Amino acid sequence: MRRSLDPLRSPVLHLRAGFVLPVSGPPIPDGAVRVCRGVIMAVAPASRLVPQPGDEVLSFPDGILLPGMVNAHCHLELGDRAGRVPYPGTLPGWLRALTALPPADAAQVAHNVRAGARTLLAGGATCVGDITTTGFARAPLRRTGLRAVSFRELLGFTPERVAAARAAAQEWLTETTAGVTNGISPHAPYSTAAALFQEAARLALASGVPFTTHLSESLDEAEFVARGEGEFLELLRARGIPPEVWQPRGSSPIRYLADLGVLEVPGAAAHVNYLLPGDLELLAAGKLVPVYCPRSHAFFRHPPHPAGEMLRAGIPVALGTDSLASNHGLDMLAEARLAWQSVAGTGAADWVRAATLNGARALGQDDLCGTLEPGKRADLIVVRPGGHAPDPYAAVLSPGSTVQFTLVDGRVP
């Protein structure tokens, strides 16, 4: 069932479904959720939560109602790069080819954002953490119907680039766009000076804004951080950056950021595809939430992701899509399904939680969304299962499951 709602005519919505998955609590067979002016008022068995006169009632007897999914790592502005950069076998080689393409202008970025948002909503996402290099993506995000965090990307090794990035971050955080939360994103250890990482971390802690970075994405990165060798060094040279701006750290990328204090910042660490000795303990002690991007992970032909080790160590893992340059879609249901299929020893419930609550934590939005609880905003979806499954979590991720209905902040986007 999908229909246009008029919140002025009917400020109270009563939703009933075959199952309700609050994520913060056990599944509720034949459950109901009451929403008033965009806020969840109650979540309970339908026998105990009955509609009141004047409520608008929506019933999904074959559906599963759960929190809207959170895409914790995305680059919507790269939407026009889809299929244009085949993987050459190394991440530095792929980045070299990607950045050789002509840059998109503001109009193209706005188109990419709008098109990507429609795909995100169709795949179950109601919230996105989106990184923008150009700065053009933030304004169109506010008109997509998504809850969004727009991260300004910061990178550079030379003093001039570091100073420019610092100024850009401060300006970004002073400007506001209705419906969009500002965040900052020092790009990655192989592209961003230690001083810039520390400045971004300090700024995020002082201002309380969301924070994200790419981390432990490839073995090329590990080689560059530890020994100052390999293709990332050659990439710096090719861009006219003197190699002496980088001093090898003799450690893993995760240890390097821990030494800088970056792991103490609440936020998201995109990818974390490789764990070296001692890394698991550092992540467990820190506050960055690893974000696994299953289909992008497959595109780059990485070995199996260590998400299972992380989950067993008590580390929350979120999910993301990355960009269409390394993914053929932006479907969070498909990402969660592939994660379940790919990571041994995990269950469907782990990946529903990763796609909802853990993603909201990674983006600093868990006070607003990620679970169905009284007081939170009504960001929710109803999924029609693709077939029979042993439990409602598995039913959500069953092949052929589709999004039947979506609310973001109590409104149909």
Q: For the residues of 382-393, what is the DSSP string, one character each?
A: EEE-SS--SSHH
The average pLDDT across 271-285 equals: 99
In tens, the pLDDT along 142-155 reads 999 999 999 999 99
Q: What are phi and psi of 98, to 5 degrees?
A: -65, -45
- What count of other Cβ atoms lies within 10 Å of the Cβ of residue 30? 13
Identify the burial level of 154 via C-beta atoms within 10 angstroms of its C-beta, where 0-12 means exposed, 13-18 middle and 19 or more buried. Answer: buried
Buried b (16+ CB within 10 A) or exposed e, 217-226: bbbbbbbbbb
Residue 2 pLDDT class (50, 70, 90 cuts): very low
Tell me the pLDDT of the chain averaged across its residues.
96
Dihedral of alpha carbons 327, 144, 38, 411, sign: negative
Domains and CATH numbers, the chain: 12-67+371-407 (2.30.40.10), 69-362 (3.20.20.140)
pLDDT at 10 over 80: no
The pTM of this model reads 0.96
Residue 8 pLDDT class (50, 70, 90 cuts): very low
Residue 176 pLDDT class (50, 70, 90 cuts): confident
